[in-house]
Amino acid sequence: MKSLKYILTIAVGLALFFSCVTQQPYKKQDELAVFSSEDFNWQALTGKAVYVNARGSAPANIKEEVYTIPAIQQLEEAKALMPESLAELTQHFLNQLLEQYPELTEHQKEMLNADAKCGMRVLSKKTDPKYFSLVHHKLQKAFLYLRDTKGIQTGYAFVGNIAKKNVGGQKGYIINMANGELVEIDISSAWKGVGFENDSGQTPLGYFLVYKDYHQKGWQSKTITTDPKHIFYKLHRQTYDGEAMYIYRKSTKIEKAYICSNQFGLIGQNFGSEYVDLSAPDYLRKSPEEVCYIDNSNSGKRQLYIHGSNRVDQLGFALSGGCVRISNINSFIIKEIVAKQGTMPVFLDAVPFHEPKPVKVPGFDDTDLESIYNTQSIVIRKQNLLDSVSLLKNLYANVLPELANSLAYRMSKVDKQHANVDIYVTVPFPESAMKYWLTLHQNNENENILFQQHFGFRGEYYKNVNRTSHNPFFKAYKSEEINHYFSNRISDTKNALHADLSKALTKYELDTVLLSSVEINDQTLIDDHFNVLQDTLDPLEYFSISNERKRVLHYMEMIDSLTQSKPEVFTEWEHLEWVEKYIPFRGNMVSASEDNGVDYNDAVLMQAYIYALGEEELYKRRVKAGELVSVKGQLFQDKLWNEYGMKDTMKMMDEAGLWVLFQYSHSSENKTLMKMVSVAYPKDEMLYGMIMLAEAYYSKYKWKANQYIISSEVDGEALSLAD
């Protein structure tokens, strides 16, 4: 009997032991193994070191005053524990603050001393190993996405946990992508939660980039930064408008919420086709299929930022209008990172760290948001804009009633109401016109050019589509037909919006006489690449082209220029020898080689496609190798020319471009049924097939230029509902 009890005791003990083992939540070593134990070096990453004095050269009395400010003391304590690469940038900010401190107003100094917030917590194996491992475990999917999927293995990134405060969220992490060390700060995301729709007031999830310089036209989120002497300055309509009265919520009747100090535009990099592995489905209690196919590409149009705030008392709580708020001091550390790297990767997820706990939320009302009175926009992208029936059906049933309701709601929140609505339309520049780009660009001849899309957004070929159905997207248009079509569609939209707005004003008990204070305008969003042709080719105001496809036009112009300025390269550069026999046909739209029917435009277009593909591939290879490349397009081409010289760079692009085209021809993405058997065959023998493959490859970027944009702005004096 005793032996039986002894056996049972051992069995129970073993069961408890193994149950404890299986309940271990994570293995620290596995999750941290992807990171190195070493910090990176700015000189190796960017080519420039950071040179800073230990405490600047400010007078002793200035140093004493600045370093007794509580928030600056917190920053100094954090700096002592940071990786050296981040400590250098932090010291650079502190030196600037010391130098410019005498220029601060007394009010700025008072806010800096009494109300400014830093709240940094440096996490590493040395400073707080237990919590450091917990954060890596909880945010493992975000960190792995940045390192493995995007190949970012050096420099700094920002990861935000936008779960609510009561489960341990509303924290941001500046992460060293080399060694995994973290700096935790308080953030504030949308009070309306997670979401991706225009005018939703919600914060999106996924992968974003912050650019130091971003030149995309339209309402893209712009990164705007300033010097420490303008700390607490508020941004209004994308310009600085004096210092904030308070940096905490005093009263919305006195001062509403503003973006302060620095703002960093969040440009979404997920377009709906990629499965992004997130922890958010568990937090949102939804299936991964509902959440993880993210499309955050409208974040720029929605004017979403990481930014400093005059509501630092609300940091740590989900109380923003959709942006990610941070403290003003921490915004200057982000500024230093972006300035040094050129870009900063950002990943937002929603991850509960613990079971819900009760929290006390600071004062808040839903009129106290940065985004209520700013410009807002609705962007239709994934629709055939040349199909008037389906376009107007969507506008009338879904878009315009929602827009009218939003306008009326915003007008009900302001006094002295006035509203502007601007309508812009662009469709992708068609492949048929790309062939004759040089003719358009140099001679302004368009009478014999048909504007016809060869491929749809999913790579479908127009001849295959037209065999089974008539799709207006693939119709061949004359220039005047494009102009007439879109003029009529915009006129239809204006009339319908006017009718919907009348109903919405009545709904919010506003006098319909306010219709006279709403201006509805049709605007021209002219692509920079087509500006030169506007006087002679009217329909180009309705065409746009993605940055990726612009590079093809750029290389067409470059090759054509070489035929005049450096004709010898077509005999000296082996990969360009095949073009030489077509140069006599330059400037003639009709004449072609008698051997194969290929004309000059065909030859230049094909070689331009190869160069553009090669440039894109060389950029991707550098990113995968762990280099944080902050320049793309022309700046990247210039960078390669400086490193290798023009001849070797173009040879590298040619080889890489042919390799990409060969790989694409054998991939499942290729729907043309054309395949390259070798990259060694003479290019002119494969020319038409290669052009078709290149057009199919670049069709995945065409949707970026397919946009029906309705931008609205309500102006007036804010009314507060509650304090």
> DSSP state, 343?
E
For residue 443, give the amino acid letter. Answer: N
What is the sign, positive or negative, of the torsion defined by CA atoms of 607, 609, 612, 615? negative
Instruction: Give the confidence band of 371 by pLDDT, cuts at 50, 70, 90.
Output: very low
Per-residue pLDDT of 543-553, as tens digits, reads 888 889 999 99
Torsion angle of alpha carbons 391, 708, 633, 604, nearest 10°? Answer: 50
651-703 tens-digit pLDDT: 999 999 999 999 999 998 888 888 898 887 778 788 889 999 999 999 988 88
659 plus 696 within the same structural domain = yes
| Residue position matching structure tokens 């007078």 | 59
In whole angstroms, give the CA distance from residue 680 to residue 658.
Answer: 9
Say if residue 326 is in the same domain as residue 392: no
What's the domain range around 397? Answer: 376-429+449-544+704-718
Q: Are both 635 and 528 inside the same structural domain?
A: no
CA dihedral 2, 7, 11, 17 (to 10 degrees): 80
Whether the per-residue pLDDT at 535 is higher than 70: the answer is: no
d(CA 76, CA 414): 43
Question: Residue 369: inside a domain, yes or no?
Answer: no
In a domain, 19, yes or no: no
Q: Are residues 657 and 708 in the same domain?
A: no
Q: Given this model, what pLDDT does residue 376 score?
A: 64
Residue 86 lies in a domain: yes
For residue 361, is it within any domain?
no
Q: Tens digit of pLDDT for each residue in 299-354?
A: 988 889 999 999 999 999 999 989 999 999 999 999 999 999 999 999 999 999 99
Cα dihedral 215, 216, 219, 224 sign: negative
pLDDT at 318: 93
pLDDT of residue 534 exceeding 80: no
Same domain, 385 and 409: yes
Domain assignment present for residue 10? The answer is: no
* Range in 249-263, 304-318, 486-500, 570-584 the model is least confident about: 249-263
The pLDDT of residue 9 is above 60: no
**CA-CA distance, 416 to 361, in Å (whole number)?**
33
CB 334 within 8 A of CB 157: no
Burial of 681 (0-12, 13-18, 19+ CB in 10 A): exposed
pLDDT at 29: 44
Residue 12 lies in a domain: no
Q: Are residue 251 and residue 315 in the same domain, yes or no? A: yes
pLDDT in tens, 582-633: 998 887 655 555 566 788 999 999 999 999 999 999 988 887 776 766 667 8
| Same domain flag for 472 and 590 | no
Looking at the domain assignment, is residue 260 inside a domain? yes
Token readout for 358 is: 């009760």
Pairing between strand 206-211 and 267-268?
A: antiparallel
**Contacts for 443-447 with beta carbons within 8 Å, 24 or more apart?**
443/587, 444/533, 444/536, 444/537, 445/589, 446/479, 446/536, 446/537
CATH number of domain containing 152: 2.40.440.10
Report CA dihedral (292, 298, 304, 306) to the nearest 10 degrees. Answer: 50
- If asked whether residues 303 and 161 sit together in one domain, one would say yes
* Residues 101 and 211 placed together within one structural domain of the fold: yes
Beta strands in 604-656 (DSSP E): none
Q: State how far the Cα of 220 lies from the Cα of 547, in Å rounded to an integer.
A: 15
pLDDT at 385: 84
- 438 found inside a domain: no
Residues 527 and 643 in one domain: no
The sign of the torsion formed by the CA atoms of 667, 673, 677, 683 equals negative
**pLDDT at residue number 525:** 58
Q: What is the pTM of this model?
A: 0.59
Question: What letter would DSSP give residue 370?
Answer: T
Computed over every residue of the chain, the mean pLDDT equals 84
Q: In the predicted model, is pLDDT for residue 716 greater than 80? A: no
Which residue intervals of 449-581 are DSSP H helices?
Answer: 462-468, 479-507, 547-565, 569-572
Banded model confidence at residue 30, pLDDT cuts 50, 70, 90: low
Percent of the chain with pLDDT over 90: 48
Beta strands in 206-296 (DSSP E): 206-211, 233-236, 239-243, 259-265, 267-268, 271-275, 293-295
| Mean local confidence (pLDDT), 509-524 | 82
Residue 71 CA to residue 56 CA, distance in Å, equals: 18
Lowest-pLDDT range of 30-44, 111-125, 298-312:
30-44
User: What is the residue-wise DSSP string for 373-406?
Assistant: SS-EEEEE-SS-TT-HHHHHHHIIIIIHHHHHHH
Is residue 169 pLDDT above 50, yes or no? yes
Q: What is the pLDDT of residue 117?
A: 94
Tokens of 141: 């999917």
633 and 524 part of one domain: no
Domain final residue pick, 280, 314, 349: 349
User: How many separate domains does the chain show?
Assistant: 3
* Average pLDDT of the residues in 567-575: 94
Q: What is the pLDDT of residue 524?
A: 61
Give me the pLDDT at residue 238, please: 77
Q: Got the DSSP string for 183-223? A: EEEE-B-BTT-B--STT---BPPEEEEEESS---SSSPPPP
Q: DSSP class of residue 477?
A: B
**Greatest mean pLDDT range, 137-146, 368-377, 576-585:** 137-146
**Whether pLDDT at 474 is above 50:** yes
How far apart, in whole angstroms, are the C-alpha atoms of residue 379 and residue 423?
Answer: 10
**Segment 246-271 mean pLDDT:** 87
**All residues at 6 or more sequence positions from 88 whose CB lies less than 8 Å from its CB, including other chains:** 42, 50, 52
Q: H or E stretch including 18?
A: helix 2-22
pLDDT at residue 36 above 80?
Answer: no
What does the pLDDT read at residue 418?
Answer: 80
Statement to judge: residues 519 and 596 lie in one domain: no
